[in-house]
Amino acid sequence: MAQLTHRASALHKSIPAVLFAARGLATASTSPITVETSLPFTGHKIDPPSRSVETSSQELLTFFRDMALMRRMEIAADSLYKAKLIRGFCHLYDGQEAVCVGMEAAINKKDCIITAYRDHCIFLGRGGTLLEAFAELMGRKSGCSKGKGGSMHFYKKEGGFYGGHGIVGAQVPLGCGLAFAQKYSKDESVTFAMYGDGAANQGQLFEALNMAALWDLPAILVCENNHYGMGTAEWRAAKSPAYYKRGDYVPGLKVDGMDVLAVKQACKFAKEHALKNGPIILEMDTYRYHGHSMSDPGSTYRTRDEISGVRQERDPIERVRKLILTHDIATEKELKDTEKEVRKEVDEAIAQAKESPMPDPSELFTNVYVKGLGTESFGADRKELRTVLP
């Protein structure tokens, strides 16, 4: 049976076990359901996995709730940014939820994930809470990085999530370093190093991939191709936008990143490959509904018709909704009730986050140098500095 996502417990808040019993699905909730992916996988130097994916009623409901929660969180973050409660950079993930949710369904917490600055939902998928997310976005003490990282620097080491990085492409060599540690420790786990199509031309990516291939590291490079690097279409920035082939000597796989079951199948396949044979590239064909960041309206380099077309034809949440209704797992009303509960959960987390205090000004100097070294401010007005160097 397909592995359930770790957030299955949260599912029962909105769709309890009695729902299955009432609909005569008490045993069917974990019974296998075989679904074919929306599109076939395309392989480079590798035979692609089967399009037939095994899932269950409970897993599909979990997928629906998780993606609905992530979507609502990002929409709420948009409102908070416009209200000036979130400042600085803020990159939203709505539209791309199937990538992180499908990935989580195929892996465990020993596996590592490292990504760029579009990181809120990936943090949530790794076990982070809404309170930690909103508090960090608003620069509050209860945030996952104690309010000091903001939108681009979410982090949860105990959940195998290593950020949240603002320098384009810089997380990929770090991800290969995590994979090196995993191979050295022989713990049978892998690292997913995620980057966008805008970072796919970075030199450091190819240097890291070369080392990963030389040493057969369990590194999976995941290109989340949302087709626009900031405001530049992929075809204007890359002579070869077939990113899954970019590894040359490293095998690759093109995946419909708007299909959560396809992502799950691809990540399971990639993990098995990486543990036996070394690195592999996954190109997730996905789409972001918002602009690159909150400062980008997202409509100057693409048409509104294009955005609405993707929403109508490929939206990851609507695809799962359709599967749930087709297999008579839940009714439309029950799914609407789930969405209402998700909205309430997000609103409550925002209210809690607003109550969290700002970090103390002295925190500005922590986590920079080894304790006892570095620069410390002191005095009545904190304008005097004392520096201790090794």
For 276-311, give the secondary structure using H, E and C.
HHCCEEEEEECCCCCCCCCCCCCCCCCCHHHHHHHH
* Cβ contact 4:58 at 8 Å: yes
Are residue 256 and residue 140 in the same domain, yes or no?
yes
* Domain assignment of residue 12, yes or no: no
Q: What pLDDT does residue 312 have?
A: 96
Are residue 49 and residue 187 in the same domain, yes or no?
yes
* Domain assignment of residue 376, yes or no: yes
Are residue 275 and residue 371 in the same domain, yes or no?
no
* Domain assignment of residue 239, yes or no: yes
Are residue 272 and residue 321 in the same domain, yes or no?
yes
* Domain assignment of residue 49, yes or no: yes
142 CB-near residues (< 8 Å, 6+ apart): 131, 132, 135, 352, 353, 356
Which positions of the chain have pLDDT values less than 70?
1-28, 372, 382, 389-390
Token pair in block for residue 230: 């900031």
Are residue 338 and residue 293 in the same domain, yes or no?
yes
Q: What pLDDT does residue 379 have?
A: 76
Q: What pLDDT does residue 5 have?
A: 39
Are residue 279 and residue 383 in the same domain, yes or no?
no
* Domain assignment of residue 381, yes or no: yes
CA dist 20 and 17 (Å) reads 5
CA dist 327 and 324 (Å) reads 5
Tokens 């925190």 belong to residue? 363
* Domain assignment of residue 282, yes or no: yes
Domain CATH number, residue 269: 3.40.50.970
* Domain assignment of residue 11, yes or no: no
* Domain assignment of residue 228, yes or no: yes
Are residue 162 and residue 213 in the same domain, yes or no?
yes
Helix (H, G, I), strand (E, B) or coil at 196: strand
- CB-neighbour burial class of residue 199 (10 A; exposed 0-12, middle 13-18, buried 19+): buried
Q: What pLDDT does residue 28 have?
A: 53
Are residue 296 and residue 376 in the same domain, yes or no?
no
Are residue 352 and residue 371 in the same domain, yes or no?
no
Are residue 273 and residue 369 in the same domain, yes or no?
no
* Cβ contact 253:221 at 8 Å: no
Q: What pLDDT does residue 390 have?
A: 64
Tokens 């384009």 belong to residue? 168
Q: What pLDDT does residue 23 have?
A: 54
CA dist 353 and 340 (Å) reads 20
Are residue 303 and residue 354 in the same domain, yes or no?
yes
Q: Could you give the number of structural domains in the chain? A: 2
Q: Which domain holds residue 377?
A: 362-389
Are residue 353 and residue 367 in the same domain, yes or no?
no
